[in-house]
Amino acid sequence: MGHRILRKPKGLRTITEMFEETVHRLPDKEMARMRRGKGWVSYTYSQAHDRVRRIAEFLQEEWGVRKGDFVALVSENRPEWGQAYLGILWAGATVIPLDARLGAMERRYLLDFAEVKYVIASNRYVPELLEAKKELGLKGILSMDPYDGVPTFSDVETKYGGIDRVEVSPEDLAEILFTSGTTGSPKGVMLTHGNIMSDIEGVYQVIPLYEEDVFFSILPLHHVYECTVGFLSPIYIGATVSYSRSLRPDHMMQDMRDTRPTIWLTVPLILEKIYTRIMKEVSKAPASRRAIFNLMRGTSKLPLIGKNLNRRLFKPLHEKLGLDRLKFMVSGGAALPLWVAKGLEELGFHVIQGYGLSETSPILTVTPPHDPRLPSVGVALPGVEIKIFDPNEDGEGEIAARGPVVMKGYYKNEKATKEVFTEDGWFLTGDIGYLDKDGYLYITGRKKAVIVTKGGKNIYPEEIESKLLESPFIEEILVFGAKNPQTGDEEVQALVYPNLDAVREEARRRGIKPDDDFIYGLIEKEIDRLSKDLASYKRIKRFALRYEEFPKTTTRKIKRHLFKGMYIEPGEKVKDAGIEEKE
């Protein structure tokens, strides 16, 4: 049971060695492309290699960067981000990839904390860096684009011819990734060349990725999930990456249709929105067409031929989305709701789930393509060990991992590092889950989010959230434990961000004004309806509405720590402005 080993790893030791091997093997193969204006900008592996070598020489000659020095990188997704990343590594330095969606002050804090003196950026971020240059003691800024008074990629190509890569070892730091996650203060995850290469080679052994594959990239490149699996893994195999010009739905869909990718890395929230949108369109169709549609979906349950048949039956839908060549969607970053995963499978899409953390480079487990078991997040990659610490009577406990993919530690934070490692080298993930007899991992929640009842029962908010998100009227929901000040008991409460379009449509259908009372009553009925299968102690005691999206991390997970200590008073219905202000 578990993974089928498709092929042996190549035994490449560092990221720069990997890039060089692919350049020599496939110099004229397209490495990356992106739409700019009315056309597409494209780079072959040899063209990217040429720029990487020149950037590395600039870093050495102009800035005096040496092996082990830190160089930060901040930019929106684009092919030049990868060239800068590889150029920094080519010079023997360590990359500090910064979140382009952070505020300027947050980036300043990270630059100061890491004592970074050199930054490569797109021109969108150059002004803020120039403003902070003196305060932070920055010695150099390199812009990817034309910018007065700042050296640019064009200047680098004019002045320098390029250098050979600086030799580094698998134990050398490749990057320090700062992540705030969902629980507060940022930590600098130190990943070595060996950590990242172990993860890439593990994926290569069990997932059918090939030179002819085209990846479609929409997730932020600074995040290790997209960086390792969506940027570096394609280099390992010699595939092509097509970057979406933005996350605007019309841009993304047009670029996807023009790209017709074979591999798409995404996150549950995006898959949920796509599936919900498809089903909403179906609901507007005549009854006869809806009946045919549902009959076609049901064929997925046919043994042996179901999934392949559905792919053919729903080919027009796949073509409309630009996904007619798609081999599989890879969902990561958070748990994929079971109803979304099953729904997409019924529409003929093949969904692979992965599980991991920034601290594990990131992939620990992945769905075996030949034997997915929803809602499992798959089986450990080759070389990775998974163990459940302190399991309860149901086998649930904290998920721990061990292997070459696990980080070196947290930058400048020995205390936090010691807290997540056991004496015998197991990394404690903070996630709760269990393993079945065949080694498939199932995640049930986060250790820090668990709600413990007076009777000692453990409640995992994610389980309840996943169930309630099946409602067409609930866009987002946060379930949490709140201590009743009168009784001292822990109660299950929730904040709900309604799907306002669906709510207004329902109100129009009924001829009712969509005020707070109407929305609250509608959501209350949905919670009651969908909670029938939940144990009584898991049901929501009280909830309130909010009329704006929850703050999220860059992998679209709600920042739970911001709502710590919240309590919903009896009779309280709304936690922010009313719907009329949103009209």
> Residue 180: its pLDDT value, please?
57
pLDDT of residue 515: 92
Give the residue carrying structure tokens 């290469």: 197
- Summarize pLDDT for 502-539 with one digit per residue, the tens: 999 999 999 999 999 999 999 999 999 999 888 888 89
If you compute the radius of gyration of the chain from its CA atoms, what whole number of angstroms results?
Answer: 25
Note whether 553 and 559 are within 8 A (CB): yes
Domain 450-582 -> CATH class: alpha beta
Residue 533: its pLDDT value, please?
84
127: three-class secondary structure by DSSP? helix
What is the number of alpha carbons within 13 Å of residue 486 lying toward its C-beta?
Answer: 4
Spans in the chain with pLDDT lower than 70 = 1, 180-185, 300-308, 454-456, 554-555, 576-583
Burial 158-182 (b: 16+ CB within 10 A, else e): eebebbebbebebebbbbbbbbbbb
Predicted TM-score of the model (pTM): 0.83
Q: Kindly report the CA angle at 31 between 30 and 33, in degrees rounded to 5? A: 85
Cα 326 from Cα 263, distance rounded (Å): 6
pLDDT of 302: 60
Locate the domains of the chain by residue range: 450-582
Considering only CA atoms, which of 36, 101, 164 is closest in space to residue 553? 101
Give the single-character DSSP code of 78.
S
Q: Which tokens in the block code for residue 303?
A: 């043994």
Side-chain-facing half-sphere of 271: CA atoms under 13 Å: 30
Please report the pLDDT score of residue 282 as a whole number. 80
Indicate the pairing of strand 70-74 with strand 94-97: parallel
